[in-house]
Amino acid sequence: MLTLERTFSLDQYRRDGFTGPVPVLGEAEAAAYRAKFFAELGQDEAQPGPTKAYMSAWHHRLRWAYDLAAHPAVLDRIEAILGPNLVMWAMHFWYKEPGNGKRIPWHQDGAYWPITPVKNVTAWFALGPTFRANGCLRLVPGSHKQMLEHEKLNDKTSAFGQGLKAEHIDESKAVDVEMQPGEIVIFNEATFHGSEANVSDVARVAFSVRYTTPEVKILTEQWSDAGRIKTYLVRGEDTHHLNDAIRGTVPV
Ligand SMILES: O=C(O)CCC(=O)C(=O)O
């Protein structure tokens, strides 16, 4: 199994389809954001439980979530990959309380997204510790070279109805991305990724932020949940104005 380099490397990103994890927040800062997360759920962090809360687009209405999604230390890394003009277009919290039996099946994000061209960099941000037993993110290095067909899954343990075909997955090549609170790992729209159930007593608190460039058009009319998609120019200039109709407003 590949050993994580725990550094930001453009060479690794190009070779493996991901890079990191790297620290962005200190432990105390990550804990403060984690507290805001649980406060928003209306839960006591010491007794994390299941939630029916909507987990997308908190950055449209909560300034602290926007500040995380547009964190300069994250944007510096994304800019190194995508260049100076950056559009942030989605954010989703991935929370698994202790005992959450759902797994995220192996998938490539680009297979789910009506955007053209399909170009995206994701920062997956751990606000709490992530490790094998609480369902840390798993990635397959070098899997990002082509898009593959996804199929329907009839599996009650899967959080998604579709995923990559089992024949395309070589579990022996998968990497468990165990992370400390405040770290990010960066991957692209084609990198195989997923995660297992949380069989520990530690909540897994994490979120993803999606970034692209102004020449990418988001086809909101093909999106089943279009309200969660808004574009924020977080660096540089909008050279194409393709998504003006869904421009987001930074919350106060
Ligand atoms: O958090 C997970 O386990 C999956 C995350 C994911 O699918 C994503 O960020 O695209």
DSSP structure string for the chain: -PPP--S--HHHHHHHSEEEEEE-S-HHHHHHHHHHHHHHHT--TTS--------B-GGGT-HHHHHHHT-HHHHHHHHHHH-S-EEEEEEEEEEE-TT---BEEEE-GGGT--EES---EEEEEESS-B-GGGT-EEE-TTGGGS---EEE---TTBSSSEEE-GGG--GGG-EEE-B-TTEEEEEETT--EEE----SSS-EEEEEEEEE-TTPEE-GGG-TTGGG--BEEEES--SS-TTGGGB-----
pTM, full prediction: 0.97
Structural domain includes residue 5:
no
- CATH assignment of the domain containing 160: 2.60.120.620
Residue nearest to atom 5 of ligand 1 (CA): 194
Structural domain includes residue 250:
no
Provide residues with CB under 6 Å of ligand 1: 94, 104, 109, 122, 124, 137, 193, 195, 206, 208
Q: Quick one: which atom of ligand 1 is closest to the CA of 193?
A: 7
Structural domain includes residue 1:
no
Position 3 scores a pLDDT of 73
Structural domain includes residue 12:
no
State the 10-residue block means of pLDDT for the chain, 252 residues long: 83 97 97 98 98 98 98 98 98 98 97 96 98 98 95 94 94 96 98 98 98 97 93 98 97 96
Q: Quick one: which atom of ligand 1 is closest to the CA of 137?
A: 3
Q: How many domains does the chain have?
A: 1
Q: Quick one: which atom of ligand 1 is closest to the CA of 104?
A: 3
Q: Which domain holds residue 100?
A: 19-45+55-244
Structural domain includes residue 108:
yes
Structural domain includes residue 68:
yes
Using the mean position of ligand 1's atoms as its centre, give its distance from the Cα of residue 106 in Å: 9
